[in-house]
């Protein structure tokens, strides 16, 4: 079945997953599709295709085995000791490969059981009983059971002595207790009603379940990975490659009844430059690569049109790109300074020049179709004269010129973006200094206090409560140091509201508040692309264990168990 979120289109037909350029007649039609697969094929009938990309194009046969090379956008130098890890998209991809999650996102039903087989919840959404799947084993042969799952959850939330959790104690602070009910059941009690708990246990692909031996490993927890996932770690040479090999005892079966995964091995290579990833794909050095960079996306689109590659592309429940302000220090402790930046942004020009007109200008954090989305949330419109007046107003109020440093990624695309923004903002009379950093260190920079403004991509849509920890006063991952009692009130109300319609209204009000106070300067919503060799398929994998279709989104990576070659 082809869903409205993802479908396989056989070239030369081309349907984009993102909205067309603003003002184009097809915008409303394009919004109906959030993900599109563009296979390297010039003719045929898509009636036999599937939403998850498992069905080979043109009736090609699945080839079992083979070694696949996947180019990622960055190294995860801190490793994958889950309670202590800091995972961006590249780290999430490895987590999907080595570990499994208690719950995963689906196409239609929010978050559904995965390592958990079922979930019981009381009417108040304060007590949750997870019943685990029988017969699942870790790579070291130890069984998945209630005790190891309880220990994992406690480790994530900073309640397990062997691990020093970094962010989990704040992300999961609403958990009151975790108890073993029986050998295969765990009870979680929360401090307030929390219907979004399954999404938090997934953790944006950051909460892979580790074996007890890895949990207790004092020295090599970051690199001696032991999960239940489809692949086992073989070797990791930092900044060169990470190789995983097939888990012959994986618990999931393919649609043909044989065991997953299909591949013998995957080699992940960190390649920070997006165009280098594209070039490697086109030369045959890489079998798959991922990007959200506009120039690379444009090249992949053209190559898919020409039939040279297969392409999966989606903006489903995606993140937003934005300028993040450090509101704990000058100049952006001043609403006037934040509004000056926002008003100086010609975001339509930014989209045309930097994003090549490929993405959609963002109205707020929540993407089209997601709860809380508003076409117009009240974000300041571009007005250069008004921006100049605001710069002068700030200087009168503070007695200082409006000058700041903008931190950005050190790759070519992020540097080009930063330089364009610098020119635009300085036209309004402010001074913008640029400072580049590697993606692997950017989260640490944000956690510290030595920055004023920063390029960022975050806030995947779909579960608005997922943003609670990013925006709540005092949270250590409230990187912008927002201290807004109205934002806090709306976050608290939205978290515990059981009526979905009422909750959506709360998050619409939150969207308006963020724009009114200019806590962020929104740029555009991210479109993710996975380019593949023509004989490679299975980006999202087969249906989930209870036959739900997997989420077509890529904002938190994708499964690797279903990736395969074809003939």
Same domain, 104 and 208: yes
Same domain, 470 and 332: yes
Please tell me what DSSP assigns to residue 81: -
Same domain, 356 and 298: no
In a domain, 501, yes or no: yes
Read off the pLDDT of each residue in 148-156 and give the average, rounded to a whole number: 99
In a domain, 137, yes or no: yes
User: What tens digit of pLDDT does each residue of 498-510 get?
Assistant: 999 999 999 999 9
**Last residue of a domain, which of 185, 215, 245?**
215
443 confidence band (pLDDT: 50, 70, 90): confident
State the pLDDT at residue 24: 30
Same domain, 296 and 239: yes
Task: Give the count of beta carbons closer than 10 Å to the beta carbon of residue 237.
Answer: 8
In a domain, 248, yes or no: yes
State the pLDDT at residue 160: 98
Which of these, 171, 196, 190, lies nearest to 464 by C-alpha position?
196
One DSSP character per residue, 398-423 reads: HSS--EEEEEEESSHHHHHHHHHHHH
460 confidence band (pLDDT: 50, 70, 90): confident
> What is the sign, positive or negative, of the torsion defined by CA atoms of 57, 60, 64, 70?
negative
Same domain, 341 and 471: yes
At what angle are helices 412-426 and 335-344 packed, to 10 degrees?
A: 110
Same domain, 192 and 280: no
Averaged pLDDT of the chain: 90
pTM, rounded to two decimals: 0.86
Burial of residue 45, with CB atoms counted within 10 A of its CB: 0-12 exposed, 13-18 middle, 19 or more buried? exposed
**Last residue of a domain, which of 215, 241, 263?**
215
Q: How many domains does the chain have?
A: 3
Of 55-59, 78-82, 361-365, which gets the smallest average pLDDT? 55-59
Same domain, 123 and 151: yes
In a domain, 85, yes or no: no
Half-sphere exposure (Cβ direction) of 300: Cα atoms closer than 13 Å: 34
More reliable by pLDDT, 38 or 473: 473
167 confidence band (pLDDT: 50, 70, 90): confident
State the pLDDT at residue 109: 67
Same domain, 57 and 67: yes
DSSP H/E element including 235 = strand 231-237
Same domain, 121 and 54: no
Structure tokens at 263: 């591949």
Same domain, 163 and 296: no
Q: 3-state SS of 176-218?
A: EEEEEEECCEEEEEECCCCCCHHHHHHCCCCCCCCCHHHHCCC
Task: Give the count of beta carbons closer than 10 Å to the beta carbon of residue 342.
Answer: 23
**Last residue of a domain, which of 183, 215, 247?**
215
In a domain, 416, yes or no: yes
Structure tokens at 343: 């008003």
Same domain, 262 and 369: no
Give the separation between CA 520 and CA 248, rounded to whole angstroms: 47
Read off the pLDDT of each residue in 150-171 and give the average, rounded to a whole number: 96
In a domain, 84, yes or no: no
For 285, the domain range is: 6-73+229-317+527-566
In a domain, 90, yes or no: no
Half-sphere exposure (Cβ direction) of 350: Cα atoms closer than 13 Å: 28
Same domain, 313 and 448: no
State the pLDDT at residue 28: 28
In a domain, 83, yes or no: no
More reliable by pLDDT, 88 or 383: 383
Which of these, 525, 76, 36, lies nearest to 268 by C-alpha position?
76
Give the separation between CA 306 and CA 354, rounded to whole angstroms: 24
């Amino acid at each position: 079945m082809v869903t409205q979120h993802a479908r396989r289109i056989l070239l030369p037909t081309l349907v984009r997953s993102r909205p067309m350029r603003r003002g184009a007649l097809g915008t409303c039609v394009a919004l109906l599709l959030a993900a599109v697969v563009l296979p390297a094929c010039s003719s045929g009938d898509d009636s036999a295709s599937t939403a998850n990309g498992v069905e080979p194009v043109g009736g090609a046969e699945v080839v079992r085995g083979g070694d696949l090379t996947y180019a990622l956008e960055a190294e995860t130098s801190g490793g994958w000791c889950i309670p202590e890890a800091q995972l961006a998209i590249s780290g999430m991809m490895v987590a999907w490969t080595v570990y499994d999650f208690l719950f995963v996102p689906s196409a239609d039903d929010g978050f559904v059981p995965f390592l958990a087989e079922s979930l019981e919840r009381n009417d108040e959404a304060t007590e949750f009983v997870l019943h685990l799947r029988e017969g699942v084993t870790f790579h070291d042969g130890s069984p998945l059971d209630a005790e190891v799952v309880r220990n994992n959850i406690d480790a994530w939330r900073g309640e397990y002595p062997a691990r020093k959790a970094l962010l989990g104690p704040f992300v999961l602070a609403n958990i009151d207790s975790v108890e073993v009910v029986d050998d295969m059941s765990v009870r979680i009690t929360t401090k307030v009603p929390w219907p979004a708990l399954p999404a938090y246990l997934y953790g944006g692909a950051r909460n892979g379940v580790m074996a007890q031996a890895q949990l207790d490993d004092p020295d090599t927890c970051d690199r001696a990975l032991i999960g239940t996932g489809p692949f086992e770690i073989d070797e990791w040479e930092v900044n060169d490659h990470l190789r995983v090999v097939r888990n012959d005892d994986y618990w999931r079966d393919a649609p043909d009844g044989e065991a997953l995964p299909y591949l013998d091995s995957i080699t992940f290579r960190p390649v920070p430059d997006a165009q280098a990833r594209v070039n490697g794909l086109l030369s045959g050095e890489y079998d798959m690569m991922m990007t959200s960079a506009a120039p690379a996306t444009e090249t992949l689109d053209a190559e898919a049109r020409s039939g040279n590659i297969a392409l999966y592309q989606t903006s489903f429940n995606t993140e937003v790109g934005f300028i993040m302000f450090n509101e704990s220090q000058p100049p952006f402790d001043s609403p006037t300074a934040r509004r000056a930046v926002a008003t100086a942004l010609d975001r339509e020009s930014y989209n045309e020049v930097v994003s090549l007109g490929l993405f959609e200008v963002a109205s707020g954090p929540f993407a089209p179709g997601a709860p809380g989305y508003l076409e117009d949330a009240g974000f300041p419109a571009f007005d250069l004269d008004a921006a100049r007046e605001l710069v002068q107003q700030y200087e009168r109020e503070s007695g200082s010129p409006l000058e700041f440093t903008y931190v950005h990624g050190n790759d070519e695309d992020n540097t080009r973006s930063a330089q364009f923004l610098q020119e635009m903002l300085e036209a309004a009379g402010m001074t913008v200094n640029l400072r580049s950093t590697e993606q692997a260190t950017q989260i640490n920079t944000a956690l510290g206090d030595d920055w004023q403004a920063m390029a960022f991509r975050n806030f995947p849509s779909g579960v608005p409560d997922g943003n609670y920890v990013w925006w709540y006063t005092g949270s250590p991952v409230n990187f912008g140091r927002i201290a807004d009692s109205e934002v806090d009130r709306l976050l608290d109300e939205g978290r515990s509201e059981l009526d979905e319609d009422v909750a959506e209204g709360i998050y619409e009000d939150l969207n308006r508040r963020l724009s009114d106070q200019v806590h962020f300067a929104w740029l555009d919503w991210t479109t993710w692309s996975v380019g593949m060799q023509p004989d490679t398929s299975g980006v999202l994998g087969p249906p989930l264990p209870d036959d739900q279709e997997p989420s077509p989104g890529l904002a938190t990576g994708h499964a690797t168990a279903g990736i395969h070659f074809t003939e």
